[in-house]
Copies of this chain bind each other. A is one copy, B any other.
Amino acid sequence: MLSKKTRYAIKALVILGKNFGEAPMQISKIASEEHIPKKFLEQILLDLRNAGLLYSKKGAGGGYGLVKDPAEIFVVQVLRLTGGPVALLPCVSLNFYQKCDECSNEATCGVRDVFLEVRNATLKILSETSIADIISREGLLIQNTGV
């Protein structure tokens, strides 16, 4: 399961994606629109800023905005920045690799092999899906459900 931190980060990037090109958006606005605790969101946005995904502007009329086009920000990046590993086992994780201490031979471990397959399938989707894709999917879903 993804952590709240990761989920909030994605939500925030989506709303900032919709706002791309406009004036920066305030934390409190994002927090209230997406029902995210403000103080928690502050930390998350700061992380995303320090990672180079967002710019920030202090003072009156300040706020946060996307540095890049939402079509160039992929979900997998967000997971990694917020500490959510893609893999289900540490021994098949690219960015959070750790040896399974109960495993005697990684190279011939059948369990690992299965979860390598799962990781590859997941990674494919998450590294091909951008924030812009999420936004356009919402458009499609709204059409289809007739809301």
Residues of A at the B interface (CB closer than 8 Å) are 1-2, 7-8, 10-11, 14, 34-36, 75, 85, 87-90, 100-102, 104-105, 107-111, 113-115, 117-118, 121-122, 125-126, 129, 133-138, 141-142, 145, 147
Contacts and interface: CB of A to CB of B under 8 A. Distances in A.
Contacts of A115: 2
B36 A102 contact: yes
B117 A8 contact: no
Nearest to A87: B1
Contacts of A89: 1-2, 7
Nearest to A75: B114
A51 to B, nearest CB: 19
Contact of A118 (B10, B122, B137): B122
B121 A125 contact: yes
Given A1-B87, A85-B1, A110-B134, A7 B100 contact: yes
A1 B98 CA distance: 12
A63 to B, nearest CB: 20
A121 B118 CA distance: 8
Contacts of A8: 102
B141 A10 contact: no
Nearest to A4: B102
